[in-house]
Amino acid sequence: MSEQAPATETQVEAAEFETGTDGPLVGIVMGSESDRATMEKAGTELEEHGISFEIQVMSAHRSPDLVATYSKEARARGLRVIIAGAGLSAALPGVVAAHTDLPVIGVPLAAKSGVMNGLDALLSVAQMPPGVPVACVGVDNARNAAVLAARILGA
Ligand code: RP5
């Protein structure tokens, strides 16, 4: 095994900037306040892994401009993974993925007026067109989204 020369201060600063250690590494977004209780489980899991995160409500249908701006600016803000949860016609994870090349993990949610306990959202999240991937966890399984994010980040 070869020994590496110690990093200079400049290299360390650059590495910190690249990995966004000053801000959150994971963005958790959801389509509605009614999704919050389920999606907060992702935050709890990230905390256990020592991974910084932020949580925001934004809807692919009700606030599409906000979703586009958030997604386009995510990488430059230091985010490295986005977890997006939505119910019903769950477009949020896919729309986020359309606007960023960061890995997006979709959480299909079983909304109150959903079909077959979240099957509508599950299909909406999983059935992305070729070239625009969304990693899809199980219905309401926000915790698994966080575990997957931790693995992507190697944390
Ligand atoms: C989706 O519609 C949301 O993600 C939520 O799961 C569902 C219902 O939203 P609310 O009517 O409760 O705001 O967009």
Are 15 and 72 in contact by the 8 Å Cβ rule? The answer is no
CA end-to-end span of the chain: 23
Ligand 1 contact, 86 CB (< 6 A): yes
Ligand 1 contact, 139 CB (< 6 A): no
Ligand 1 contact, 111 CB (< 6 A): yes
CA distance 89 to 132: 17
Spatial CA neighbour of 145 closest among 86, 89, 88, 100: 86
Phi and psi at 92, nearest 5°, equal -55, -50
Q: For ligand 1, pick from 28, 30, 33, 34 the residue to mutate: most ligand atoms within 8 Å of CB.
A: 34
Are 96 and 27 in contact by the 8 Å Cβ rule? The answer is no
pLDDT score recorded for residue 16: 39
Q: How many CB atoms lie within 10 A of CB 137?
A: 23
Closest atom of ligand 1 relative to the 111 alpha carbon? 6
Residue nearest to atom 13 of ligand 1 (CA): 32
Ligand 1 contact, 32 CB (< 6 A): yes
Q: How many CB atoms lie within 10 A of CB 69?
A: 13
pTM value?
Answer: 0.87
Are 32 and 55 in contact by the 8 Å Cβ rule? The answer is no
Spatial CA neighbour of 115 closest among 93, 92, 137, 89: 89
Per-residue pLDDT of the chain (155 residues; tens, 9 = 90+): 333 344 333 333 333 334 445 799 999 999 999 999 999 999 999 999 999 999 999 999 999 999 999 999 999 999 999 999 999 999 999 999 999 999 999 999 999 999 999 999 999 999 999 999 999 999 999 999 999 999 999 98
